[in-house]
Structure formats: structure tokens, C-alpha cells
């Protein structure tokens, strides 16, 4: 489900905020995920925590780990993608693209396993740009399975916000299990989780 209400309408995570509200304000989204990305999402119930978490994320102080199933298997076991990104607008549609004078975007990646000619890859975001993993995976030559914008778009998108950790005075971390449509592939690559 989308994190926030979109132009198409329909249910979103923010629709449930009134049920979680204590007092007159909040909760708030501390960050966002693409609509078809499963996994960890940070919601702040207090304004002070929201500001602290957002400042930490803006300073690249939060640990953000994603898993994706990619078309094909990248050459090598691991690497870093340092490819700046910019929004490209074409008519009424937009997408992100690797552009020399775009905003800096850095992603670490490593292959966790392969099965049937595709790979399970872990991505660690060093910056937090829109669609960063999806664009960087396509830039590697191996788009995320199911990605309708940067890949073939067949089936559900196979991207998971696997782990989110914030090194605050009282540390916060969460790890998400693979969603049902990714679980069999993850198990084939890693065994039982």
C-alpha cells in the first residue's frame, strides 16, 4: 500500500494515523518508501523524535539496508555505485536517471546468492535519493525484478527495506522478513531465514 495518499486515491499508511494519534498532533512519517517496496518504515509519534530521526537520516547517520531480486547476476561479489541522480520529466511522467551533474548518490552492494539466473543482492544506501536503488540496479545492468519504470515490470517488484537502524541515545532498529512474493527466492539463495 502507498505510504501517503497519491493522485490515484486509495488506501495509504497515513490513513491509519488518526487511530494511532495521542493528543492533538502526530504521528508523522519520518521517511518514505516507494509504493511497491516492502519492509521497514519509521513512523514518529512525537515531534521531537521526528526531528531527531530526520536529522540523522539527512546526515546519512541511519543504517538503511535493502534486499532486491535482480534480473541476472552482477559481475563480481560486491561493489560501490557512485552515480549522481536527477529527475527527468517527459510530458506528464517523470523518472530518475544517472546524470553527471545530478545530486550525489552512492550505494554499496553485495550478492547474497543466486538462483535460476537471478541474484539476491543487498544494498546499503550511503545517500537517500528518490528511486536510488532501482536506478542504480538498472545502471549496473541488472534491474530489480518487477520494476515497471527501470526494468521489464513483469510481476510484483522485488525490493525489500530489510533493516533500518538509528544510533540514537536509545537505539532503534527493525528488520523486516521477506514478503510472500520474495520469500521462496530468498530461501533458495540463503536457506531458511
Q: Are strands 93-98 and 85-90 parallel, antiparallel or unpaired?
A: antiparallel
Backbone angles phi, psi at 131, to 5 degrees: 60, 25
d(CA 25, CA 174): 24
| Pick from 172, 158, 180: nearest CA to 66 | 158
Q: Identify the helix (H) or strand (E) that includes residue 184.
A: helix 183-190
The one catalytic residue among 15, 34, 36, 77:
34
d(CA 44, CA 41): 10
Q: Is 6 helix (H, G, I), strand (E, B) or coil?
A: coil
Unique residue bearing C-alpha cell 546499503: 124
Q: Answer yes or no: 34 catalytic.
A: yes
Give catalytic residues, as residue numbers. Answer: 34
Amino acid at each position: 500500500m502507498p505510504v501517503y495518499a497519491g493522485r490515484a486515491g486509495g488506501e495509504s499508511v497515513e490513513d491509519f494515523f488518526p487511530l494511532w494519534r495521542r493528543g492533538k498532533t502526530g504521528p508523522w512519517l519520518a521517511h518514505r518508501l516507494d509504493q511497491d517496496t516492502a519492509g521497514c518504515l519509521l513512523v514518529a509519534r512525537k515531534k521531537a523524535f521526528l526531528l531527531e530521526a530526520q536529522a540523522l537520516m539527512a546526515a546519512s547517520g541511519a543504517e538503511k539496508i535493502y534486499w532486491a531480486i535482480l534480473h541476472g547476476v552482477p559481475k563480481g561479489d560486491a561493489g560501490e555505485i557512485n552515480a549522481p541522480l536527477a529527475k527527468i520529466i517527459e510530458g506528464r511522467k517523470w523518472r530518475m536517471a544517472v546524470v553527471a551533474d545530478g545530486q550525489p548518490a552512492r550505494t554499496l552492494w553485495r550478492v547474497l546468492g543466486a538462483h535460476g539466473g537471478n541474484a539476491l543482492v543487498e544494498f546499503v544506501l550511503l545517500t537517500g535519493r528518490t528511486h536510488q536503488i532501482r536506478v542504480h540496479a538498472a545502471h549496473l545492468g541488472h534491474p530489480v525484478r518487477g520494476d515497471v519504470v527501470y526494468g521489464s515490470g513483469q510481476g510484483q517488484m522485488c525490493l525489500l527495506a530489510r533493516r533500518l537502524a538509528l544510533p540514537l541515545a536509545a537505539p532503534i532498529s527493525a528488520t523486516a522478513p521477506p514478503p510472500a512474493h520474495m520469500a521462496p527466492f530468498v530461501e533458495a539463495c540463503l536457506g531458511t531465514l
